[in-house]
Amino acid sequence: MKKEKNSKTLFIVIPIIIVLAISILWLAASKPRIMELGTLSYEEVCNKNGDQWMVMEPWIKGRSIGSQPCAGCMIADNHFCKADEYIAYMKSLPSVISGQSMMHEMVTEHGDDKNSVDIHMYNVAFLREKLATNSLTFKITDTSASPVSDLEVVHDKIMHLVLVRDDLNYFDHLHPQEISTGVFSVPYEFYAPGKYRVWIDFTIDGMQHIVDFDFNVAKGSGKLLDYQSGNLDIKLNSGNARVDETSKIDFVVNYNNGSPAEIQEKFLAASAHLIVIDDDLGEFGHTHDEEFDGDNVLSFSYKFVKSGRHKIWLQFSLDKITRTAELEVDVSE
C-alpha cells in the first residue's frame, strides 16, 4: 500500500518538476539579457542576468571538466569560470527582440594566420604541417583539451569546408572526415599557388560553428578545376541586391540547346547550395534551396552584409554530375 502511495506521489511530483524546469528555462530565454561586460564585472553581469554566482568546479552540461574550484556563473547545468565562456553561452540561448523570439544558432571566428582559435566552448586547430602531405586537417578540443568528435550530420556531412584563393579565381567545396578522435581531414592537391582562405563549418548540439584560416600554397600541379557546367546555360536574377536587405536570388538552368534542365536530384540533402564570398573575403555565406520542386529554377534568400562585388558559386547535381557555376553579384548600400 505504501509502495503504491509513493508511486502516485512520484506520478504527480515528476510532471510538476518538469513543468517548473521548462518555465524557468523559458523565463531565462525571454527576459532581456546582458550580452557584453562593458563597465560591469563578470559577477555583476551574472547577478543582473538572474543567474547564480558561486564557487565550485567548472561544469559543462552537468559534467565536471576540472577539479580546481573557481568563482563563476552558474546557468542551467553549466558553471563557467571565465566571463567570455559565459557570454558565448548566453549568446547561444534564445532571446527576445522587439517581441519576437530570435535564436542565436551560429557563431563565427577568424583564425587568420594563427594555428588555432577559440570559438564558443571549443578550440579549433589548423594542422598546417599536414599541408605538406596534401591534406587539410583540423583538430577540435573542448575547454578541458579533450578531443571532440560528436559533430552533427548537416546536409549529409559532419563538416563542410570551403576554400578560395584571395583573388577569388579558385574555389572548392570539400568534406573532411574524422580520421581519429577529434581530428578531421580531407586529402587535397592544390592546382595553383597563392594565398588561400579556408572556412570550416560544423555543428555541435544545434550550434553552427564557422572558423576560417589563411595560408599560403607555394606551388600547384597546374591542372585546372573542372566545374562540369559547360553544357549548361545558367542565368542569374538577383534583382537590386542591397546591404542588410533579404535578396531573392534565382537561377534559371537550361541546356545549351535551350531546353530546361530540370533539377530532380538532391545535392547534399538540398536541391542546390549557394556560397557567397565578397572581394576582400570578409563576408562568407552558405545557404540552400530546399524546395525539391523538380523544375529548372533554383531560388535562394540571402541577406548581404557588405556592399560591393561578391562572387557566388551555385552547386547542384544534374545527370548524376555535380555542377558548379561561378557568377557575380554587385551589392549596393
Residues in the chain: 333
Final residue before a domain boundary, out of 217, 250, 265: 217
Q: 143-160 pLDDT, tens per residue?
A: 899 999 999 999 999 999
Pairing of strands 194-204, 183-187: unpaired
| 135-to-132, 151, 190, 211, 237 alpha-carbon distances in Å | 7, 20, 10, 18, 37
**pLDDT at 15 (0 to 100):** 52
Q: Are 124 and 211 in a shared domain? A: yes
Same domain, 98 and 110: no
117 shares its domain with 89: no
Q: Give me the pLDDT at residue 67, please.
A: 81
Residue 3 placed within a domain: no
Domain membership flag for residue 23: no
**Do 177 and 205 belong together in one domain?**
yes
| Inter-residue contact 266 to 290 (CB < 8 Å) | no
- Classify strands 207-217 and 106-110 as parallel, antiparallel or unpaired: parallel
Task: Give the domain range for residue 189.
Answer: 106-217
Domain C-terminal end among 84, 102, 120: 102
- Check residue 281 and give left, alpha or beta (phi > 0: left; psi -120 to 50: alpha): left
Q: Note whether 216 and 296 are within 8 A (CB).
A: no
59 plus 96 within the same structural domain:
yes
Please name the residue that has the C-alpha cell 546582458. Answer: 34
Domains contained in the chain, number: 3
Residues 176 and 138 in one domain: yes
* pLDDT of 26: 42
What is the Cα–Cα distance from 113 to 252, expressed in whole angstroms?
Answer: 39
Q: Exposed, middle or buried by CB within 10 Å (0-12, 13-18, 19+), for 252?
A: middle
pLDDT at 8: 52
Q: Are residues 130 and 202 in the same domain?
A: yes
Last residue of one domain, picked from the residues 72, 102, 132: 102
Q: What is the CATH number of the domain that holds 240?
A: 2.60.40.1930
Phi then psi dihedrals of residue 290, to 5 deg: -120, 25
Low-confidence ranges of the chain (pLDDT < 50): 2, 17-31, 94-104
Is residue 13 one of the residues assigned to a domain?
A: no
Instruction: Decide if 8 is inside a domain.
Output: no
The angle subtended at Cα 17 by Cα 102 and Cα 19, nearest 5°, is 40
| Residue 9 included in any domain | no
Does residue 179 sit within a domain? yes
CA 27-33-37 angle, 5° bins: 150
φ/ψ (deg, to 5) at 316: -160, 175
pLDDT at 60 (0 to 100): 82
CATH number at residue 205: 2.60.40.2480
Say whether both 207 and 192 belong to one domain: yes
Statement to judge: residues 69 and 52 lie in one domain: yes
Query: Taking Cα atoms as reference points, which of 182, 72, 83, 189 lies closest to residue 130?
Result: 189
Whether the predicted model's global pTM rises above the 0.75 cut: no
Q: What's the pLDDT score for residue 97?
A: 28
Amino acid symbol at 115: N
Distance CA 276, CA 210 (A): 14
Q: Does 133 share its domain with 37?
A: no
Q: Do 123 and 197 share a structural domain?
A: yes
The answer to whether residue 15 is domain-embedded is no
In a domain, 265, yes or no: yes
In the prediction, which pLDDT does 6 show? 52
